[in-house]
Amino acid sequence: MNFQTARPYTYLSMAAALMTIALKTGAYFLTGSVGLLSDALESGINLVAALAAFWALSFAHAPADEDHPFGHDKAEYFSSGLESILIIITAIGIAVVAWPRLFSPQPIEQIGLGLFLSLIATVINGGVAWTLLRAGRRLRSITLRTDAHHLLTDVWTSVGITVGIFSVKLTGLLILDPLIALLVAVSILFSGIRMLRETGAGLLDTALPSEDRDLIMNIFGIYEAQGIHFHALRTRGSGSRRFATFHVLVPGDWTVQQGHDLCEDIEEAIVQALPGTNVVSHMEPLEDPKSWTDLELDRTFESPHS
């Protein structure tokens, strides 16, 4: 993924955060609703997250160097990890503010205007989240995907708070305002924990998704029909990049040139099927008994359907 391609999305995220902070803060001062305050606090986290995303994407797509020969892709996970932690902190902060209001509910003023401002902010967040999610999937960026999921959480938070404030207006039960805020805090907390787990999985070099491994195995199948065998397939993802290594078993009487050409063809086929994949193959003779032992032992190590 090219940083120049991803950068406009971070600008979009920052602009959206600034606009929604202003709108939701205004809505809070108009109404005095602790629910809208919690919504404004989460939008503040959106701005911090957008700035972190800009840094992460800048660093992650710096060229490989002597100290980082495989590139800097994992920097994206620092951004997603930071955002996840900030989301969790926000949830705790909302709960701290809302809890006393359960025992001392406060009246809500100018509900109509406050909700109108909140609605505008919600529409902005929804549009930006949809845009970031599509871009994150297309560019294989966990930073953009995490930012999108956070914004979607903000959207649902706003919807829940709006419902709560309308309920207060209809029923006159002021306790519904802090109660909804606490429910929102719990929802945000689980969202942050889920994103933190996804970040941890990326840092632990988790294997590529089964659909990606299926594509590799399908390519192997084409050559296996020609008498070629494979084993020791290992895959991992790092930010927007994929890595795959494997052993190719060829007849022992082949020339080095024949084996080299075959490996080149296989690697090229994998790169075409999975763009952005770093592929490394190792050639072995079919007649080597150890190769067949390794092949049998390896059949269940990384099944494409595991």
Residue 301 is predicted with a pLDDT of 43
Specify whether 92 is located in the same domain as 18: yes
Number of C-beta neighbours around residue 289 at 10 A: 7
Compute the chain's Rg from CA coordinates. 26
Specify whether 51 is located in the same domain as 176: yes
Specify whether 37 is located in the same domain as 93: yes
Specify whether 194 is located in the same domain as 215: no
Contact in structure between 13 and 152 (CB atoms under 8 Å): no
What is d(CA 9, CA 27) in angstroms, rounded to the nearest whole number?
27
In angstroms, the Cα distances linking 252 to 31, 261, 285, 286 are 80, 15, 5, 6
- State the residue range of the domain holding 150: 3-203
Residue 276 in tokens: 């952005």
Contact in structure between 19 and 101 (CB atoms under 8 Å): no
Domain boundary among 203, 225, 246: 203
Specify whether 20 is located in the same domain as 142: yes
Residue 269 is predicted with a pLDDT of 93
Q: Is residue 306 part of a domain?
A: no
Residue 240 is predicted with a pLDDT of 63
Residue 247 in tokens: 């052993």
Of the candidates 74, 93, 44, the one whose C-alpha atom is nearest the C-alpha of residue 141 is: 74
Per residue of the chain (306 residues), give pLDDT as tens: 444 567 788 888 888 888 888 888 888 888 777 767 777 777 777 787 788 777 777 776 666 667 766 666 677 777 778 878 877 887 887 788 778 878 877 776 677 777 788 788 888 988 998 998 888 888 777 778 877 877 887 787 777 777 777 777 788 787 887 887 788 788 878 878 887 887 777 677 678 888 888 999 999 999 988 888 888 888 887 666 788 999 999 988 899 999 999 999 999 999 999 887 889 998 888 876 565 555 554 554 444 433
Q: Is residue 304 part of a domain?
A: no
Domain count across the chain: 2
Specify whether 95 is located in the same domain as 170: yes
Specify whether 184 is located in the same domain as 72: yes
Q: Is residue 305 part of a domain?
A: no
Q: Is residue 236 part of a domain?
A: yes
Residue 296 is predicted with a pLDDT of 53
Specify whether 131 is located in the same domain as 260: no
Contact in structure between 60 and 239 (CB atoms under 8 Å): yes
Domain boundary among 149, 184, 203: 203
Residue 302 is predicted with a pLDDT of 46
Q: What is the DSSP string of 245-271?
A: EEEEEE-TTS-HHHHHHHHHHHHHHHH
Torsion of CA 150, 154, 157, 163, to 10 degrees: -150
> Domain of 215: which CATH number?
3.30.70.1350
Specify whether 103 is located in the same domain as 14: yes
Q: What is the DSSP string of the chain?
A: --HHHHHHHHHHHHHHHHHHHHHHHHHHHHH--HHHHHHHHHHHHHHHHHHHHHHHHHHHTSPP-SS-TT-STTHHHHHHHHHHHHHHHHHHHHHHHHHHHHHS------HHHHHHHHHHHHHHHHHHHHHHHHHHHHHT-HHHHHHHHHHHHHHHHHHHHHHHHHHHHHH--TTHHHHHHHHHHHHHHHHHHHHHHHHHHHHTTPPPPHHHHHHHHHHHHHHHTTT-EEEEEEEEEETTEEEEEEEEEE-TTS-HHHHHHHHHHHHHHHHHHSTTEEEEEEEEETT-HHHHHHHHHHTTTS-TT-
Specify whether 172 is located in the same domain as 279: no
Q: Is residue 95 part of a domain?
A: yes
Amino acid letter, residue 132: L
Specify whether 175 is located in the same domain as 262: no
Q: Is residue 250 part of a domain?
A: yes
Domain boundary among 203, 224, 250: 203
> Domain of 161: which CATH number?
1.20.1510.10
Specify whether 128 is located in the same domain as 28: yes
Q: Is residue 112 part of a domain?
A: yes
Q: Is residue 303 part of a domain?
A: no
What is d(CA 22, CA 27) in angstroms, rounded to the nearest whole number?
9
